[in-house]
Amino acid sequence: MEMLRILSLLVLTFVFGTLYYYLMESTIPRDSICNFIASPLTDIFAFITGAIIIYKGVVLNDDLLIVLGGIIIVEHIWQLCPKYSMEKIMWLPQYIKN
């Protein structure tokens, strides 16, 4: 039962992390030179930090820590894949735009 709870929380983190990345990407104008995509070393540190936070959440039985650690990891996974635009992967934008 405990493993099911943790897996459910990790699935929830994927949804929240993906939505966060999509919102972050969509607020940056396409023609701007602003670059929010971090270096690979930053992503590696983020993966390690997210994994530690998830581990602490499991040990302390804290669902919020598990979700926050997972969101950090998911958001940085999306940053590692900048060649794929969220608009190409997700069906959501066609329903949001006017």
The pTM for the full model equals 0.72
Instruction: Record the tokens describing residue 10, joined without a space.
Output: 């990790």
Residue count (the chain): 98
| pLDDT (tens digit per residue) in 70-79 | 999 998 888 7
Separation between Cα atoms, residue 53 and residue 58, nearest integer Å: 9
SS3 81: coil
- For residue 95, the model assigns a pLDDT of 52
Separation between Cα atoms, residue 30 and residue 11, nearest integer Å: 30
| pLDDT (tens digit per residue) in 55-66 | 999 899 999 999
Burial 10-44 (b: 16+ CB within 10 A, else e): beebeebbbbebbeebeeeeeeeeeeeeeeeeebe
